[in-house]
Amino acid sequence: MRFSFVLSPEWSWKETLGLFRQAEAVGFERILYGDHLLPMGGDIDGPVQEGWSILAAVAATVPRVRVGASVICNNFRNPALLAKMAATVDQISGGRLSLGLGVGWYEQEHSAYGYGFPSAGERFRQLEESIQIVQSLFANRRTTFNGAHYQVTDAPLFPKPVQSPLPIFIGARKPKGMKLAARYAQEWNTTDFNWIVEQQGNELPEVMRTFHQACADEGRDVASIEASTLAFFAFEGDPGAGQAEFYRKHRGQLPVVGDGNTLCKAVERVEAAGFSQICVCSVTLGVGYDDIRRGMERFMTEVGARFA
């Protein structure tokens, strides 16, 4: 089992850099950053950093771990420009970018910044065209694409990414998104993690069964796609446990709360279900900056080290 550290975009640049450097120091394999334009709930006047600017800066200043977004909102950037940005960050990082893509869900930030927010089906069709353009630009000398949503004419992309292919992961918890992951991605990431707490038996969780079916429908070997899941972990009695209760009560998201052994048993269930990477969210590891630093160190000492 491998572990990524996921940070929301409300932190200052100095705090973001400090937390990501700590994540690297304690042994997280990958650091992921939220791609949002507004705070998620509550006061929309709060600070939010722009995701790709942060990724470029982190790629240059945190030297070893993989970097990426969890996940890039397709609506915010033209896909040809997105491909150029991704190739640039992969060059800056020396080949450490994971390109996470999704359709977006936070309607308020779309309307606030003047982006359309069509139906989920339409957003998935847009995302599929974007992926086709991005992958073509990475692989080919020139790309021409005439889709229903995006058009590219004889477009080059140089320099190419360092990685070939540059790994794409698609964030999806519903069948339409899973189908795109099965068709195009090197990794599928889901935010459907309540089963970790609710399901105690050995039965394959529904979200994984659905993904297996998507792979079968696309003729793709499920073993050829890494499966990762977002998850909330909190140590009982730590400040993050109170935050975990907030997410459980007000957002319906079930964190794993307990001591190191309890958290390890949850990780074992995730591994048994076929996932090979867990994306650990900062929001329940602590409340303040120092709390989160201590929380991630404790997590990797008491949990991550057992799965090394």
Q: Does 294 reside within a domain?
A: yes
Q: Which two tokens stand for residue 195?
A: 């089963």
Parallel, antiparallel or unpaired: strands 142-146 and 151-156:
antiparallel
Write the CA distances from 70 to 10, 33, 169, 218, 272, integer angstroms.
Answer: 14, 6, 9, 24, 24
Residue range of the domain that includes 144? 71-166
Burial class (CB in 10 A: 0-12, 13-18, 19+), 35: buried
Q: Does 256 reside within a domain?
A: yes
Domain boundary among 145, 166, 187: 166
**Cα–Cα dist 71/106, whole Å:** 12
Q: Which two tokens stand for residue 16?
A: 């973001």
User: For the chain, how far is it from start to end, CA to CA, in angstroms?
Assistant: 7
The full 3-state SS of 187-201, as one line of letters, equals: EEEECCCCHHHHCCC
Q: Does 180 reside within a domain?
A: no
Domain boundary among 120, 144, 166: 166
CB neighbours of residue 187 within 10 Å: 20
Q: Are residues 297 and 246 in the same domain?
A: yes
Q: Are residues 110 and 154 in the same domain?
A: yes
Q: Is the bond preceding residue 71 a cis peptide, omega within 30 degrees?
A: yes
Number of separate domains in the chain: 2
Domain boundary among 166, 188, 214: 166
Q: Does 33 reside within a domain?
A: yes
**Cα–Cα dist 246/62, whole Å:** 32
**Cα–Cα dist 218/149, whole Å:** 23
Question: Which residue's entry shows tokens 């630009």?
Answer: 137
Q: Does 225 reside within a domain?
A: no
Q: Are residues 64 and 86 in the same domain?
A: no
**Cα–Cα dist 235/227, whole Å:** 25
pLDDT beneath 70: ranges in the chain: 41
